[in-house]
Amino acid sequence: MASLEKPPVATTNVKWRFPAVHSEGHKFVAIAAGLTLVGGLIWSVLFWPLVGLTIWVAAFFRDPIRTTPQGEGLIVAPADGLITMIERVPVPRELDGPNGLPGGPLVRVSIFMSVFDVHINRTPIAGTVRQVVYVSGKFLNADLDKASDENERQYFVVEGHDGRRVGFTQIAGLVARRILGFVKPGDIVAAGQRIGLIRFGSRVDVYLPEDHVCQVALGQRSIAGETVLARKGGTSVAGVAQ
């Protein structure tokens, strides 16, 4: 008679660890550490405040490991931060064109990143990068709606293996002075893959395809590469206009 015992379940212990500092932040951490050393030698009162500054710089460029949900028709958040706006708006002209998004208004989800959030941005879907457009501009408060049209920004369009296209925008803020992209048109990316970062405090807008339903609400916090921002079909979150 065959044994009725179930085979043991393989398990793996996961332990918390300090997030690594992204390579883009190494020079800034080194500068802050150097200032701390020099400042402490010149005037000891400065030492501990500068130590705090060095820790904050290292924390700003932290690059934690993320586990991206798998499934058909999912769009994951490209940024850590606060969901500040969800509204139907016209598609920006920078996301238009043969490699861009279809015409007509789409639901835009805005994620505001404070200086304390992780600033590594990730792609919302797997696929091929079809379009990357950088636009110089102002450095208004990223919370303002007009920041989408007036601030320094960088647009991306990723086309999934199923043909759907998702557009998203890195937007500089009051403190941010540099937008960095890690990908170029033609690159193949996995969902949740790192695609860029913004220094130091900013916003990311995501334009949802017409047949996708928003799964987050205003005031919710998102985690880049993990929070499901939208899914194809289904039911929207209460209070979210489509």
Give CA–CA dist 198/179, Å, rounded: 5
The answer to whether residues 142 and 194 touch, using CB atoms and an 8 Å cutoff, is no
- Considering the candidates 3, 110, 136, 202, report the single residue annotated as catalytic: 202
Helix 26-42 to helix 47-60 angle (10° resolution) is 180
Distance between first and last Cα of the chain: 58
H helices within 15-62, ranges in order? 26-42, 47-60
Q: Which of 31, 32, 34, 25 is nearest to 62 (CA)?
A: 25
Residue 221, Cβ neighbours under 10 Å: how many? 13
Q: What angle do CA 154, 158, 164 make, to 5 degrees?
A: 135
- Is 202 one of the annotated active-site residues of the chain? yes
Give CA–CA dist 200/198, Å, rounded: 6
Torsion sign across C-alpha atoms 128, 131, 136, 140: negative
Give CA–CA dist 127/201, Å, rounded: 27
Tokens of 152: 């320094």
The one-letter amino acid at 168: F
Annotated catalytic residues are 202
